[in-house]
Amino acid sequence: MNCFYHPASPAVGVCKYCQRGLCSECAAVVDDVIACRHRHEDEVHKLEQLAARNLFQSKRVASGYMRNAIFYGLVGVVFAGFGLWQLKWLGLQAVMFIMLGVFLLYAAGANYFEGRKHK
């Protein structure tokens, strides 16, 4: 493959934005990848930034789900446990606590699986 802009010069790399061959004169290194010098440097930089940001976001989302799962799980166990413990004395009110606890445990499970999906 030869340079797209200089057909006589052999290409040393390919622009990440337009996939054209570039000689050593035309190749610019942006964020560790090759771009057309003065043509696609900005575009490649934006592409790389976008990719890095997506990676960071999906990581943050996954850990957020896990944190929610742990929080809901703990609160759910406390509520359900309290309800079971107080069932004899509080009756219907205790059943409400148990139901709330079960709901929170369900939410914890949903968050846990959602978090695993984003890993």
Residues in contact with Zn ion by CB under 5 A are 3, 5-6, 15, 17-18, 23, 25-26, 36, 40
Q: Report in angstroms how near the CB of residue 1 gets to Zn ion at its nearest.
A: 12
Q: Report in angstroms how near the CB of residue 23 gets to Zn ion at its nearest.
A: 4
Question: Residue with the closest Cβ to Zn ion?
Answer: 15
With respect to Zn ion, which residue has the nearer C-beta, 18 or 110? 18
Closest CA to 11 of 19, 20, 23, 25: 23
CA–CA distance, 35 with 2 (Å, rounded to integer)? 15
Closest CA to 18 of 8, 7, 3, 32: 3
Would the CA dihedral through 104, 108, 109, 114 be positive or negative?
positive
Q: Report in angstroms how near the CB of residue 4 gets to Zn ion at its nearest.
A: 7
With respect to Zn ion, which residue has the nearer C-beta, 18 or 107? 18
CA–CA distance, 21 with 4 (Å, rounded to integer)? 5
